[in-house]
Amino acid sequence: MLVNALKDYLRPYVHYHRLPPEAKREHDVDRRNVAGEDQGPEIANAVAIDWLCQAQDNSRTNDGGVARDYSLVSGWNSSYPETTGYIIPTVLAYAIKHGRQDLITRARRMLDWLVAIQLPDGAFQGGMVDQRPVVGVTFNTGQILMGLAAGVREFGDDKYVQSLHRAAEWMVDTQDPDGCWRKNLKPFSDAGQEKTYEVHAAWGLLEAFRATGVQEYLDSAMKNIYWSVELQQPNGWFAQTCIGDSTKPLTHTIGYVLRGVVEGYLQVKDARLLRSATKLADALVAATAADGMLPGQFYSDWTPAAEYVCMTGSVQIAYCWMVLHNLTGESKYLETARRVNAYVRRRVDYEGRPEIRGGVKGSYPVYGDYGKYQYLNWAAKFFIDSNEMELSLASRAQ
């Protein structure tokens, strides 16, 4: 018993001393909570978009997709179909705003790669492209629909149209009658439970509807969103909202739920959905510290379940707060979103090596449990989106 207790006590120290020097440096800086100056959303997005280009160019599989992450321990990872899918709209929007033809070319490479790896039944696989087993996953397919829909709108290429229809029809066909997707869950996480965060996949179907006008896609998406809202508790909490332990979900997956419900409201303007979104948003506002620190995990009574920040979840939620500010006029949403965005911007490296310059850590501090010692491609994507929304609101206010 004493030996095991000693091992548990020493484990973090042994782990630290085995880290590469770069990982130790980030560990030490973050442990001291040393944050830089807020460079503002424009500069932040310029370096973050460059980091995404680095992630595409340095993917271990070198296939046109975006590397899942850069790890301070193991380097660049393989391409990640799921997040490459929803990175595409972000890259295209930035390219159009800034006249970046190079980014248009990059987005087409991502699209062409996704079309090439689509499974025969229309679905897309879970995990990184070189992970096994290769099986169709509802959530991943929904995220990739966002990229395909953006490709259809921007390029009108028939191969993107056909790929979109095949993916959307697969999602419609595999949905349960009550709106839940219980089959084809993620094979690399807890696949034993139905998930309310699938509303983010329903958003993918909404984008497919917006790009094509196929009513069946809208009906399927809304059926899932209404199913999820039924599981919301009076304090705003959504049940079954985590990749792993549903008793203490990440703000990342909570952010997925909030965005899906918001997108549902934007589509059908049902006041019930707006009430659901604001109830969840209000609970998250109340849980945010004055400096913009939002704990990375919560229990169902909104007690923090982690001391680290899930940087992805923070900027996802900040984006949704800003949309809700637009819809309701509530100043608390905008004020809290700005604080949270600034918190993350102050913890981005603006001058370091290309592998980390502009990247967004999975956790802050970097040794937190989510994306430990990793800079995640989806963290950069949602960071850019939230900064762009902040810029948009600021320009409207002038």
Per-residue pLDDT tens over the stretch 70-104? 999 999 999 999 999 999 999 999 999 999 999 99
Q: For residue 187, is the peptide bond before it cis, meaning its omega torsion is within 30 degrees of 0?
A: no
CA–CA separation, 365 and 374 (whole Å):
11
What single-letter amino acid sits at 268? V
**Domain CATH number, residue 258:** 1.50.10.10
Q: Which residues contact 94 (CB under 8 A, 6 or more apart)?
A: 45, 49, 100, 103, 384, 388
Residue 32 counted as domain residue: no
207 and 221, same domain (yes or no): yes
224 and 263, same domain (yes or no): no
Confidence of residue 7 (pLDDT cuts 50, 70, 90): very low
Residue 58 counted as domain residue: no
Percentage, residues of the chain above pLDDT 90: 86
Residue 11 counted as domain residue: no
pLDDT at 76: 98
221 and 261, same domain (yes or no): no
104 and 158, same domain (yes or no): yes
Higher-pLDDT residue of 11, 155 = 155
pLDDT at 317: 98
- Per-residue pLDDT, averaged over 191-210, amounts to 89
**Domain CATH number, residue 109:** 1.50.10.20
CA–CA separation, 151 and 161 (whole Å):
8
Q: Which residues pair with 50 in a beta bridge?
A: none
90 and 224, same domain (yes or no): yes
Residue 221 counted as domain residue: yes
Task: Please state, as a whole number, how many other Cβ atoms lie within 10 Å of the Cβ of residue 69.
Answer: 27
The DSSP 8-state label assigned to residue 310 in this structure reads: E
224 and 313, same domain (yes or no): no
Distances (CA, A) of 127 to 155, 189, 220, 291, 320: 27, 10, 24, 34, 26
Residue 174 counted as domain residue: yes
CA–CA separation, 248 and 254 (whole Å):
10
What single-letter amino acid sits at 60? R
CA–CA separation, 175 and 139 (whole Å):
12
124 and 214, same domain (yes or no): yes
CA–CA separation, 260 and 265 (whole Å):
9
Residue 21 counted as domain residue: no
**Number of domains within the chain:** 2
226 and 246, same domain (yes or no): no
In this predicted model, what pLDDT tens digit does every residue of 178-187 receive, in sequence order? 999 998 777 6
Range of the domain at 244: 234-398
- Is the CB of residue 273 less than 8 Å from the CB of residue 265? yes
CA–CA separation, 312 and 331 (whole Å):
23
pLDDT at 10: 47
Q: For residue 365, is the peptide bond before it cis, meaning its omega torsion is within 30 degrees of 0?
A: yes
* Helix axes of 199-212 and 251-268: crossing angle, nearest 10 degrees: 40
CA-based radius of gyration for the chain = 20
Listed residues 230, 264, 283: the one ending a domain? 230
Strands 374-376 and 69-71, bridge-based pairing: antiparallel
Residue 277 counted as domain residue: yes
Tell me: pLDDT of 382 over 60.
yes
pTM: 0.94
Confidence of residue 53 (pLDDT cuts 50, 70, 90): very high
**Tokens at residue 389, please?**
């929304």
3-state secondary structure of 304: strand
